[in-house]
Amino acid sequence: MNNYAKCIEKKPTVKVEKQELKHKKGRQIGIMGGTFNPVHIAHLIAAEQVLTKLRLDEVWFIPDNIPPHKNAPLVSAKDRATMLELATNDNPRFRVKLLEIFRGGVSYTVDTLKYLKEKAPQNNYYLIMGSDQVDSFHTWKQPDQIARMATLVGIRRPGYPQNPQYPMIWVDAPNIQLSSTDIRRAIATGTSIRYLVPDSVIDYIQKKGLYRG
């Protein structure tokens, strides 16, 4: 195990995570994956809309270790995880889970769901996807199996197809045209990202000098 994994393993969220998987009764859990490079308000707003409209118990943010479908340069897993913690720690129903970072290698949703279903088969999982992800979902690793293990939830977004190849629950959310690419580009060019990213995350990015080019 590398030094970073040892460090993360000591965090309270991970200790609680292991207990929850084994001992909690069945719950309704939203799963939001991605690189979160960095996390921004559109991620948080979408998660909150799904949480409240589907009456879920929690939403779990699971950052990729190595994403299978993206080539953008990543800051370290430690930095991305820390920014997620900072962005979500004021919402007791948002949790950060580092399953894919611990597992290492390329991160596949099907592997994560297999692990979660094995450890807590009593839970119901809701996989939250943006409309762009819905359109490409059929290209993911073992999409049929993913659809059997989790309820698919799409965030409705104008301009993207809404005829998925798999059963889907659609959730309306404020249409915020924002991506992590936009945030990285703004930082690199010295443009303000205030109100686009939580203040605590902005402070961390500035302190660490992330995304400066």
What is the residue type of 43?
A: H
On whether the CB atoms of residues 166 and 135 are closer than 8 A, the answer is: no
| DSSP H or E stretch at residue 60 | strand 58-63
DSSP 159-180: TS----SS--EEEE-------H
Per residue of the chain (213 residues), give pLDDT as tens.
Answer: 444 444 443 343 433 344 444 445 789 999 999 999 999 999 999 999 999 999 999 999 999 999 987 776 679 999 999 999 999 999 999 999 999 999 999 999 999 999 999 999 999 999 999 887 888 899 999 999 999 999 999 998 777 667 788 999 999 999 898 999 999 999 999 999 999 999 999 999 999 999 997
Q: Can you tell me the distance from the alpha carbon of 170 to that of 154, in angstroms, rounded to the nearest whole number? A: 5
pLDDT at 4: 41
Q: Which pLDDT score is estimated for 72?
A: 64
Residue 142: strand, helix, or coil: coil
Specify the CATH number of the domain 3-208: 3.40.50.620
The pTM for the full model equals 0.86
Domain boundaries, the chain: 3-208
**CA separation for the pair 12, 2 (Å, rounded):** 19
- DSSP 8-state secondary structure symbol assigned to residue 49: H
